[in-house]
Structure 1
Amino acid sequence: MARYVRFAGLASIVIVEDDDEIDALLDHPELDRTYRPAGPPLNRLLLSTLRHALFRDGQALLSFRPRGDGERAAAQAAAAKRLDALAQQAPWSNDALATMAAYVANGTNRDAALAALTYATAYPFLAADGRETPIPFEAAKFGDLFEQYQRLKFARQSWKGLLSRLLGVDRRAEQEILRMTGGDDYGLHAVGITLANSEIILENLRASFAVRLTRTATGAPFDWRKVRTAPAMLTRQNKTPLRFAGISEEVPANALVLLKTRQALRPDSPAGFEFASKHWSYCPASRYMIAIFERVHVLAQRASTAA
């Protein structure tokens, strides 16, 4: 059931932690990604942090614009088509995938594996200059890009990252990420946000292999549901007063609605829940990311057998 957090007029926040409820709310016509600086003081403070992270030059990144934004919808569809094609082509460097697979199978060289993961996650946006040839994996270069992601991730924390934001650490990290991804909004999203989920999936895959090694059974088929994760949280605002299941009172307009998708994700959650696949806000990289980890799984099995 949803919970309503209200502090004497200082906050108006709805928290939802159930996958079925989240699934039902994602397409609710009165909930949207508006990020309006409205509502009680704490809401405005949290929105200020969000806007700092998700806006560039006064406008939300394409991947965070509202439902009715035509440019977002067109870019989202184009990105999905392009990423689906790349998932079929599997153009990634074998060295990068083998590096991830070695970490998954044996726990070796995690730093190199994270650099390789950064390379694979950012790959679709590294060829913004129109090159058709596969892009090589350079561990040092993509290790540096992973460090930019870490700086950005730290700076986005509401309180811990305040000094970093004041010093412009996050803006410099964003500029470096954009430089390496052709200035593409989705490139910034890939490194700044998708990579956070990719890192967890890599660790989940590693953990699954560690368990298999103790049972001497590493030949199990790839099961995405056992390694998947979801974004930590999706943020919406209600455009009008609204009622939520489990909340006795009507929630006034401009409340922050926090959908805790990672916490809500269960082993039996519907396929695609982690990507909001059935909703207008779907992630266009779903098939692409699954293809990467499926290939890493195959290579990790080979590495385990060879060892």
Structure 2
Amino acid sequence: MREAEGATTTEPGPGAILGEQRRLTNLAYRMLGSLADAEDVVQETYARWYALPRREREAIVSPGGWLTTVASRICLNLLGSARVRRERYVGEWIPEPLPDSREWTDPASGPGTDPADRITLDESVSMAFLVVLEAMTPAERVAFVLHDVFRYPFAEVAAIVGRTPAACRQLATSARRRIRAGRAPAAPTGAQAGVVREFKRAWEAKDLKSLMAVLDPEATVIADGGGLVGALPHPLTGRERIAAAHLDSDRFAPGITLLECTVNGGPGLVAQVDGVTVTVFAFRIAEGLITHIWAVRNPEKLRPWTQVGPIGSGLRPSGSGAQQ
């Protein structure tokens, strides 16, 4: 990443360096599953860049490569400590959900005002994908994200992870097996949205039969309150139990409004009380049925969703429903 001895170069301008921000945020979010942590990683990466003496910065041939290496190594360290932190986490831990910036950015304040606007939404940020990434070792996750998602050669991955290229290849292979095992057959987004819409309608109408009709017999709900708000302490499995719990939840959280929206690139729901987002729901759908529901209730993970109702012209509010 540095010039050969005797070569001269000039330091890249601030625009070129800051132009890497979106890519670094995309990279760090996929590695960590947290927008807040990804932002911290990018900030620390830039702090380290500007802490270098100017002469050292000028000697770096590929500033983008240097920034990527530093950000990836910070993520690798954080992933190791995150496992310890999550052992102490209250209840289930779910990756931080992302809105679709096209729905959530305030037109009056211009594009890019929402931090989530810096995340490119595709399959690699779907909730189902991120949940599988959570099951990987830190080295597996970093190697897989760098190589399979961002197309870095194994030689560069090896320098970042501190393993040989052959070892990194094996890490990525192991990660791919996990992804294949957890991947549902892809369905058109429109078809998925239709299933989520039917789920929403049945929930609001308190129609037990219709609600069960869109749930897989072995469907699972996982809720994340982080110990800050009420949530299921353990996964709830079985469509009968899930349907009954949703129809009964009005007793615990009356006056909920449900909104259709995009969550991590796929059809989802937002639950609001008096215009305040209290839960974001992501779904996994296979063969026309909901197999998994992830309900994020931890308010610390709902920062990008705070201005949903008044701004999101792409959202469709409905009547009162209920929420997990």
Q: TM-score range by the shorter chain?
A: under 0.3
Per the normalisation by structure 2, the TM-score is: 0.23
Larger Rg: 2
Higher strand share: 2
